[in-house]
Amino acid sequence: MMKELFYLSGVIAFLVIFFVSIFAPTKGQTRIWLWSLLKIGFFVSLFYSWFTDNIVLKWILIEASTLFGALLISSSGTERSFHVGWKFLLINSYALGLAFLGIVILLFASTPLENLDFESLKQGLVGQSGLLIETGILLTVYGYSGKLGLVPNHFWVGDTYAESPSQISSLIASFVPVSVVLAIRPLIQLEREINPHMINAANGILFIGVLTILYSTLMLFSREDIRRISAKVALFHTGMLTLFLWLDVSDDMFYFLLSTTVLVKLLVFISMGILRMDAGKRNISQILETSSLSHKALYMYLLALLVAFVFPLSPVFVLDLKVIEIAIKQKMFFLFLFPIMGAIFFFIALNKVLTLVRLPNRNFETSLYGILQTRLVFFWFSFLFTVSVGTYGLTYLMAEYIWKK
């Protein structure tokens, strides 16, 4: 059921992003239908990768999204967005090149395969060279981690989300991480069976995931740009994905995690786009110099931050409860640090954004009223769906506590 919920969440998130770009486009956006076709190509390539077990085809589809993504980042038409699009293309292609090298090594180490599905590869690796297989898995996982945007291959993340229209940022942040995690998970599970040593892909990706969480939290202190604050929120949640990969959680919990990732990032970037367009500026210090601000836009952004970290019916809150449950049951008490880090990140971001409340309230700008109202409708729809998913996850994943007599 959770797998179907994830697929549904992906489709709904894409439709929201697509309709926002059609009916409430960014100011000055041209050739909307051309960019819409690229959005469809981006989504279809990643969405299809969710269903295939062919490890080479999955890599090809994820690599195809890199090309579509680079073109979409450049849709703003500015020189800066053009350079950022090239950075996205080069860093992601380099990272996926390493992943492909790892896949080639795994295929070389395997006995001849009937097909390129993962289960066939797994059978073909039985009894083969341990070191060669471990090297192939490490290269593949590390390469894919660059596509995730984890430290040290994170340099494309901030610029991509800062220089792209909010719909493009939402599209990349929502769909790239879940697609890559789906490609990584079976490799990590395989390595657990063949490599019991401390140095392995699971521990390695958790290490760089923790570094990513710490980096995004520390960098948040110096960020005044609401676009880059949103980018750090996305980076923090991407780092948290590695924890669940390392824990090797159940399929239900894993697919609920993927649904959460898609929906939370959708909310954050839609609300950021509303606030950014209404304020007319990106930096908080510059917004504070204006005479007024629509508190409606501000509260949408604050609500999205709440849902991303501490809102009681948010899917993120349910996942925090599951982490605490695992920490208690398996006596891994260091896991308590991860929900605490989320709370710390939230209060830092809240402290920055809440200063905007001092500005006098006004309605949306007249020239942008229709666009912002349309985006607001899509935000509320996304919010209600996200809360519904969180409520369902709470009653399903925590059923033994809720319905316990």
The DSSP code sequence of 229-292 is: HHHHHHHHHHHHHHHHHHHT--HHHHHHHHHHHHHHHHHHHHHHHHHHHHHS-SBHHHHTTSS-
Query: What are the distances in angstroms from CA 137 to CA 188, 240, 270?
Result: 8, 21, 36
Question: pLDDT digits over 222-273, tens only?
Answer: 888 899 999 999 999 999 999 999 999 999 999 999 999 999 999 999 999 9
**Contact criterion met (CB below 8 Å) for 287 and 354:** no
Structural element, H or E, at residue 84: helix 79-109
- What is the per-residue pLDDT for 99? 94
Average pLDDT over residues 31-40: 83
Question: pLDDT digits over 368-395, tens only?
Answer: 888 899 999 999 999 999 999 999 999 9
- The SS3 call for residue 54 is strand
Its pTM stands at: 0.94
**HSE on the CB side for 364, CA within 13 Å?**
19
**Contact criterion met (CB below 8 Å) for 205 and 188:** yes
- What is the per-residue pLDDT for 279? 87
Higher pLDDT, 88 or 113: 88
- What is the per-residue pLDDT for 59? 95
- What is the per-residue pLDDT for 111? 78
| The amino acid at 396 | Y
Average pLDDT over residues 83-98: 90
| The amino acid at 205 | I
Question: pLDDT digits over 175-214, tens only?
Answer: 999 999 999 999 998 888 777 777 788 899 999 999 999 9
Name the pLDDT band for 10 (thresholds 50, 70, 90).
Answer: very high
Which of 23-32, 96-105, 243-252 shows the lowest per-residue confidence on average (mean pLDDT)? 23-32
- pLDDT > 60? residue 405: no
Neighbours of 76 (CB within 10 A): 19
Diameter of the chain measured on Cα atoms: 71
Domain locations along the chain: 28-248, 249-404
Question: pLDDT digits over 285-317, tens only?
Answer: 899 888 889 899 999 999 999 999 989 889 999
Question: pLDDT digits over 150-171, tens only?
Answer: 988 888 888 888 888 888 889 9
- pLDDT > 60? residue 142: yes
C-alpha 329/C-alpha 147 separation (Å) is: 33
Average pLDDT for the chain: 89
